[in-house]
Chains A and B, each alone.
Chain A
Amino acid sequence: MTDLTAHPPRGRRYAEITGEITRVPLDFPQRRNWWILFSFSLLLLLVFIVSAGVLFTFGVGVWGNNIPVNWGIAISNYVFFLGIGHAGTLISAMLLVLNENWRNSLNRFAEAMTLVAVTCAGLYPILHLGRPWLFYWMALYPNTMTIQPQFRSPLTWDFFAVLTYLTVSLLFWYIGILPDLAASRDRARKRRWQVFYGLISLGWRGSAFHWARWRTCYAITAVIAVPLVVSVHSEISLLFAAGPIPGWTSTVFPPYFVLGAAFSGFAVVSMIAVVLRHAFGLYAFVTDRHLDLLAKMLLTTGLMTAYGYCIEVFDALYSGEKQDIATMFDRLTGGVAWSYWSAVICNFVPLQLLWLARVRRNPWLLFLISLSATIGMWFERYMLLVSSLYRDYLVSSWDSYFPSFWEWSLFAGMLGVFLTPFLLFVRFLPMMSAFEIKEAVFEQEQEGEEPRHA
Chain B
Amino acid sequence: MSLRDGHNGAVGARIGESLRGKSGRTFWRSLDELAGTEDFRRFLEAEFPSIAPDAGSVNRRALLKIMGASLAMAGLAGCGGETDEEALPYVVAPENVIPGNPKWYATSVTFGGYAQPVLGKTHTGRPVKLEGNPDHPAAKGATDAFTQAALIGLYDPDRTKAPLHLGRATTWSTFDAAIREQAEKLDGTKGQGLRLLTGAVSSPTLQRQIGDLLRRWPNARWHAFEPAQETTRRDASRQVFGEPLDWHLRLDKAAVIVALDDDLLGPGPRQVHHGRMWSERRQAFHNGKAACTLLVAEPTPSLTGTMATERLVVPHARIAILLAAFAQALGLQSGVQAPLDEAAKAFAEHALERCRRNPGAALISVGAQHAAELQALALLVNERLGALGNTLGFTDPVIAEPPDGSASLEALVSDMSRGQVGTLLILDCNPAYTAPVDLDFADVIERVPLRLHAGLHHDETAALCHWHLPLQHDLEAWTDARAVDGTVGIIQPLVRPFYDVRSKHVLLENIAGRFDATDRDLVQATWRTAWGQDFDARWRDTLYRGFIPDSVLPEKAPTFNTNPITLPQPPKADGLTVLFRPDPTIWDGRFANNAWLQELPKPIGKIVWGNAVFIAPALAGKLEVENGNEVRVSQDGAAVTGPVWIVPGQEPDTIVLTLGYGRRISGEDIGGGLLHELGYDATPLRRAAGPWALAGAEIAVTGNHQDIASTQYHSAMDGYDFVRTVSAPDEQAAEKKKQPSFYPNRKWDSPSWGMSVDVDLCIGCNACVVACMAENNIPVVGKELVAMGREMHWLRIDRYHEGDPADPAMYFQPVPCMHCEQAPCEMGCPVNATTHSPDGLNQQIYNRCIGTRTCSSFCPYKVRHFNWFDYTADDPPETQAARNPDVTVRQRGVMEKCTYCVQRIREAQISAQKDGRILVDGDVRTACQQACPTQAISFGDVIDPESAVSRRKASPRDYTLLEEVNTRPRTTYLARITESVPGKAKS
Identify the A interface with B (CB < 8 A). Answer: 58-61, 64-71, 125, 128-132, 134-135, 137-138, 147-150, 152-156, 158-159, 239, 242-245, 321-323, 389, 392-400
Contact = CB atoms under 8 A, between A and B. Distances in A.
- Secondary structure at the B interface, as helix, strand, loop or mixed, is loop
Interface string B792-830: 000010111000000000000001000000001011111
Contacts of B824: 243-244
Closest 3 CB pairs between A and B?
Answer: A130-B851, A130-B893, A66-B789
Given A125-B852, A393-B861, 11 more contacts: A59-B893, A61-B785, A67-B866, A131-B893, A137-B850, A153-B829, A243-B828, A244-B966, A244-B967, A323-B964, A389-B857
A60 B851 contact: yes
A162 to B, nearest CB: 12
Interface string B704-748: 000000001111110110100000000000000000000000000
Nearest to A153: B830
Contacts of B857: 70-71, 243, 245, 389
B867 A243 contact: no
A381 B158 CA distance: 48
A321 to B, nearest CB: 7
A248 to B, nearest CB: 9
17 contacts: A61-B785, A61-B790, A61-B869, A68-B789, A70-B866, A71-B853, A130-B895, A131-B893, A132-B850, A155-B828, A156-B830, A159-B830, A243-B857, A244-B824, A245-B858, A394-B722, A395-B722
Nearest to A69: B789
B800 A395 contact: yes
B713 A242 contact: no
Contacts of A150: 826, 829-832
A398 to B, nearest CB: 5
A392 B860 CA distance: 7
A65 B867 CA distance: 11
B182 interface: no
**Which of B891, B893, B961, B967 counts the most chain A CB atoms within 10 A?**
B893
B862 interface: yes
Interface of B: 712-717, 719-720, 722, 785, 788-790, 796, 798-800, 815, 824, 826-832, 848-854, 856-858, 860-862, 864-870, 891-895, 961-962, 964-967
Nearest to B718: A395
A349 to B, nearest CB: 32
Given A68-B789, A137-B848, A244-B965, A396 B796 contact: yes
Kindly name the residue among A71, A134, A397 whose own CB sees the greatest number of chain B CB atoms within 10 A: A397
Contacts of B869: 58-59, 61
A130 B853 contact: yes
Given A66-B790, A68-B856, A243-B858, A59 B849 contact: no
B125 to A, nearest CB: 34
B862 A67 contact: yes
Nearest to B856: A70
B856 A67 contact: yes
A149 B895 CA distance: 17
B377 to A, nearest CB: 41
Nearest to A155: B830
Given A137-B848, A392-B860, A153 B828 contact: yes
A68 B862 contact: yes
A396 B830 contact: no
Contacts of B848: 137, 147
Given A60-B893, A138-B850, A244-B967, A149 B827 contact: no
A74 B92 CA distance: 58
Main secondary structure of the interface of A (DSSP, over half): loop
A67 B865 contact: yes
B852 A242 contact: no
Contact of A394 (B789, B831, B864, B962): B962
A334 B908 CA distance: 49
Given A60-B868, A68-B856, A130 B850 contact: yes
Contacts of A138: 830-831, 850
A259 B71 CA distance: 70
Given A70-B857, A396-B714, A396-B798, A130 B828 contact: no
Contacts of A135: 850
A315 B856 CA distance: 25
B788 A131 contact: no
B95 to A, nearest CB: 41
A155 B854 contact: yes
Contacts of B799: 396
Contacts of A129: 850-852, 893
A400 B707 CA distance: 14
A399 B711 CA distance: 9
Contacts of A154: 828, 854
B605 to A, nearest CB: 13
A190 B850 CA distance: 50
A137 B894 CA distance: 14
A392 B850 CA distance: 24
Contacts of B826: 150
A400 B714 CA distance: 11
A65 B790 CA distance: 8
Contacts of A69: 789
Contacts of A322: 719-720
Contacts of A131: 849-851, 891-894
A394 B893 contact: no
Contact of A59 (B798, B850, B892, B966): B892
A179 to B, nearest CB: 40
B926 to A, nearest CB: 21
A154 B826 CA distance: 11
B283 to A, nearest CB: 26
B789 to A, nearest CB: 3
A152 B712 CA distance: 33
A59 B894 contact: no
B833 to A, nearest CB: 8
Given A245-B860, A389-B857, A392-B862, A149 B832 contact: yes
A242 B716 CA distance: 29
Contacts of B868: 59-61, 65
B860 A244 contact: yes
Given A67-B864, A68-B789, A153-B829, A130 B800 contact: no
Contact of B720 (A64, A67, A149, A395): A395
A444 B856 CA distance: 57
Nearest to A148: B832
B832 A130 contact: no
Contacts of A243: 824, 827-828, 854, 857-858
A130 B827 contact: no
A397 B832 contact: no
Nearest to A240: B857
Contact of B815 (A64, A396, A399): A396
A158 B854 CA distance: 12
A156 B854 CA distance: 11
Contacts of B966: 244
A246 to B, nearest CB: 9
A58 B869 CA distance: 7
A148 B891 CA distance: 22
A149 B789 contact: no
Contacts of A132: 850-851, 893
A137 B800 CA distance: 41
B844 to A, nearest CB: 13
A147 B847 CA distance: 13
B831 A137 contact: yes
B962 A134 contact: no
B862 A130 contact: no
Contacts of B864: 67
B120 to A, nearest CB: 33
A410 to B, nearest CB: 16
A395 B832 contact: no
A61 B849 CA distance: 16
Nearest to B867: A130
B533 to A, nearest CB: 60
A304 B508 CA distance: 85
